[in-house]
């Protein structure tokens, strides 16, 4: 699947991750925020803004295999929180601006996004509306050359310090639109950091909008037609698979070295069968996912296929994690081991970006269409 250019890229990314990220993950999780300097360092080696056009300073790469490599190397280091930050640039806010933004909007926001000098967030989830976007209550009403925004959002990664936030708001009975809210706009405020089970370095917060007057020039895309999910769901799927592969790799190493009753754990039939089953499921899943990555690059990926990839890989990851923790025994419960951190970090993957149940609804409706 990957060409020599991809392999060269992997060497660069792996070296950076081993040098700048892996030694600091524990510290960032404890302080509940990634050091801002990481993003500037990542930008210097081209880790951010892969799809941002070169005229705005990005790499201008539509080949998602380059992003997949970054996902794999971050998973290898157990750096889920770091991946969430990069995903906001490369899978969410960046693509929204590139695909939906006007020339003026791109000139305003893209040059600061890829070098990490502008921190971004995307605000969809609300206290009463998660995967069901029809339940969104945040509303924007047109008033002359401005939109008046009222409502609240929750579980927002980077919410506590984002310079710009892409907000999903209702602009009609059946219409959802996207607005870019900038730091400092009157009426825009942030809650205290939320205490999450895992991925504690993501700085997750609530956001509040009290009669925030957003310029009409900050409407992103066409009114009522702003939502897209392909890139986000493929990003989650690729990271879930990469994390499952890392969990299996750690477990293979552990069971080859650890002994019980005079034999290595990997020599017990029950352990061997578990390792065989996980290996097979992961390899079969990779074949499917790599084909969907190529579809994404060709512009032929459907919402249904992205939903299939998202729910299957994230549920596979849950099964792999549970079995791998069990094979680690008591050490699988210790956060000093990467498998334990992956266990608490990974649970969210079957929830955000659309729960497994919502993904099955998307697929089911396509079957009945």
Q: CB of 313 within 8 A of CB of 290? A: no
Beta-carbon contacts of 350 under 8 Å, excluding residues fewer than 6 positions away, are: 311, 314, 315, 317, 318, 356
Q: What is the 3-state secondary structure (H, E, C) of 149-216?
A: EEEEEEEECCCCCCCEEEEEEEEECCEEEEEEEECCCCCEEECCCCCCCCCHHHCCEEEEEEEEEEEH
User: Do 217 and 291 meet the contact criterion of CB atoms below 8 Å apart?
Assistant: no
**Residue 214 CA, distance from chain mean position:** 27
User: Active-site residue among 72, 202, 206, 232?
Assistant: 232
Active site residue 72: no
pLDDT in tens, the chain (369 residues): 567 888 899 999 999 999 999 999 999 999 989 998 999 999 888 888 888 999 998 888 889 999 999 999 999 999 999 999 999 999 999 999 999 999 999 999 999 998 889 999 999 999 887 776 778 999 999 999 999 999 999 999 999 999 999 999 999 888 899 999 999 999 999 999 899 999 999 989 999 999 999 999 999 998 887 667 778 899 999 999 999 999 999 999 999 998 888 889 999 999 999 999 999 999 999 999 999 999 998 999 999 999 999 999 999 999 999 999 999 999 999 998 999 999 999 999 999 999 999 999 999 999 998
Domains of the chain, CATH where assigned: 4-113 (1.10.540.10), 120-220 (2.40.110.10), 230-368 (1.20.140.10)
The pLDDT of residue 47: 87
* Helix (H) / strand (E) containing 59: none
Q: Measured between alpha carbons, how far is 283 from 1 in angstroms, rounded to an integer?
A: 14
Instruction: Give backbone dihedrals phi and psi of 263, rounded to 5 degrees, phi first.
Output: -130, 155
- Count CB neighbours of 137 within 10 A: 13
Q: What is the pLDDT of residue 226?
A: 66
Residue 147: helix, strand or coil by DSSP?
A: strand
Residue appearing with tokens 């892409």:
166
Q: Which pLDDT does position 3 carry in this prediction?
A: 73
- Helix boundaries (H) for the chain: 4-16, 25-31, 37-44, 64-76, 80-87, 94-100, 103-113, 230-257, 269-298, 303-328, 338-346, 356-368
Give dist(CA 326, CA 339) in Å, integer.
Answer: 10
The three-state secondary structure class of 121 is strand
Distance, in Å, from the CA atom of 335 to the CA atom of 357, rounded to the nearest integer, reads 30
């Amino acid at each position: 699947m990957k060409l020599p250019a991809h392999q060269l890229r992997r060497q660069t990314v792996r070296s950076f991750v081993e040098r700048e990220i892996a030694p600091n993950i524990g510290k960032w999780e404890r302080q509940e925020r990634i050091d801002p300097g990481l993003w500037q360092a990542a930008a210097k080696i081209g880790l951010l803004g892969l799809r941002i056009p070169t005229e705005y300073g990005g790499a201008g790469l539509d080949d998602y295999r380059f992003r997949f490599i970054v996902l794999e190397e971050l998973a290898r280091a157990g750096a889920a929180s770091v991946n969430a930050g990069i995903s906001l640039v490369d899978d969410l806010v960046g693509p929204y601006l590139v695909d939906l933004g006007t020339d003026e909007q791109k000139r305003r926001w893209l040059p600061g996004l890829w070098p990490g000098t502008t921190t971004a967030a995307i605000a969809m989830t609300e206290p009463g509306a998660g995967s069901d976007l029809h339940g969104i209550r945040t509303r924007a009403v047109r008033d002359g050359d401005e939109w008046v925004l009222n409502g609240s959002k929750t579980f927002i990664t980077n919410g506590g310090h984002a310079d710009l936030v892409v907000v999903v708001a209702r602009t009609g009975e059946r219409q959802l639109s996207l607005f870019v809210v900038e730091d400092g706009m009157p009426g825009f405020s942030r809650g205290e950091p939320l205490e999450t089970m895992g991925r504690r370095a993501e700085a997750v917060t609530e956001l509040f909008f009290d009669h925030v007057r957003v310029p009409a020039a900050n409407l992103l895309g066409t009114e009522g037609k702003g939502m897209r999910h392909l890139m986000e769901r493929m990003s989650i799927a690729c990271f879930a698979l990469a994390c499952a592969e890392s969990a299996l790799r750690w477990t293979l190493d552990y069971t080859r070295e650890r002994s019980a009753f005079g034999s290595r754990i990997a020599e017990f039939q029950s352990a061997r069968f578990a390792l065989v089953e996980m290996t097979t499921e992961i390899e079969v899943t990779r074949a499917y996912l790599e084909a969907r990555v190529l579809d994404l690059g060709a512009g032929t990926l459907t919402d249904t296929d992205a939903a299939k990839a998202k729910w299957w890989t994230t549920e596979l990851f849950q099964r792999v994690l549970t079995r791998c923790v069990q094979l680690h025994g008591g050490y699988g419960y210790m956060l000093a081991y990467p498998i334990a951190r992956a266990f608490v970090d990974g649970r969210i993957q079957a929830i955000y970006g659309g729960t497994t149940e919502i993904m099955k609804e998307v697929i089911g409706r396509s079957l009945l269409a």
